[in-house]
Amino acid sequence: MVDSVFFKIINYEIVCIIYISLQMSNNNVKVAVITGSSRGIGKAIAKEFAKNGYSVVLNSRDEQDLNRAAQDIAKEIGDNNVISYVPGDVSQEHVCKSLVEEAVKRFGRLDVLVNNAGISGVSKKINELSTNDWDYVIDVNLKGAFLCTREALKHMIQNSDTSTNTKNNYSIVNISSVHESIPQPDAAPYAASKGGMEMLTKNTAMEVSDKGIRVNGIAPGAIATDMNKDLLEDEQKKKEEEQRILLKRIGQPQEIAKVALFLASDNASYITGTTVYVDGGLTLTS
């Protein structure tokens, strides 16, 4: 009788230990929020992070597209327990709040934010732009990155442990553009939003360096995504663009994703406040 009670207690303790260990090992999995990740560069980044052991929270405005992207990624990595998503426009404060909440509620933590959501806007001369044309692009590309950065930082700062030697715990990666430094004809809001993003990267890096948070940007050149659909479908224009690029080809989304993964990882532990140009040398010839 005493023996069976004793074994019940022991069994209960073993179950508790296994449960706690599983919880702890789950909590050791790093978590990344990637905005604008239903397709293109954002989706490639989400896939790259998931393949490399992260849990990921996807985002874009269209829920159906997001669901499809989540299923694609889950299928490729063979695990749908590490993917979640929050539909919504990143220029809305509540969407950025929900992204951080989802990471914490579903996966218990948030380690990395990738501000990727972006639009190119209408092609017009400055004197022809309406105020709405301007606001639309700035709101998504720049204000959206600010809002998500602010919400992510609230969580990161609150949880940052700078008492140990492992200081670089958190990372923010801003997907900017070569147009943060090269003007783009008939696309002033886009170029201005990306120029702003360069300073958002630097300023944020400066303000949070003592909290173990690194902040960097990536400036892609011409990448094969829907954003460049017109260019990719016009053989002549595509050839001309390729001639301007030192490596003589348009880049692939995965080539941006690998750099994002690197910047977020401990391999980049001494890099903060900078923008990496991933443009096949385009900037040198522009």
| Residues with catalytic roles | 190
**Contact call for residues 112 and 106 (beta carbons, < 8 A):** no
Strand order in the sheet with 213-220: 83-87, 55-60, 31-34, 112-115, 170-175, 213-220, 275-278
Task: Give the position of tokens 């929270």.
Answer: 57
Q: Which is nearer to ligand NAD, 32 or 117 (CB)?
A: 117
The amino acid present at 198, given as its one-letter code, is: E
In angstroms, rounded to a whole number, what is the distance separating the alpha carbons of residues 186 and 20?
A: 57
Least distance (Å) from ligand NAD to the CB of residue 7?
A: 55
Least distance (Å) from ligand NAD to the CB of residue 58?
A: 9
In angstroms, rounded to a whole number, what is the distance separating the alpha carbons of residues 200 and 215?
A: 9
Interior/surface letters 3-39, b for 16+ CB within 10 angstroms, e for the rest? eeeeeeeeeeeeeeeeeeeeeeeeeeebbbbbbbbbb
Q: Which is nearer to ligand NAD, 144 or 212 (CB)?
A: 144
**Contact call for residues 54 and 114 (beta carbons, < 8 A):** no
Q: Which is nearer to ligand NAD, 98 or 169 (CB)?
A: 98
Q: How far is CA 77 from the centre of its chain?
A: 19
Task: Give the position of tokens 């401990």.
Answer: 266
Least distance (Å) from ligand NAD to the CB of residue 8?
A: 52
Q: Which is nearer to ligand NAD, 147 or 169 (CB)?
A: 147
Least distance (Å) from ligand NAD to the CB of residue 18?
A: 39
Q: Which residues bind ligand NAD (CB under 6 A)?
A: 35-42, 59-61, 89-91, 116-119, 140, 144, 175, 177, 220, 222-223, 225-228
Give the residue among 79, 153, 91 at the shortest CA–CA distance from 118. Answer: 91
Q: Which is nearer to ligand NAD, 39 or 214 (CB)?
A: 39
Least distance (Å) from ligand NAD to the CB of residue 91?
A: 5
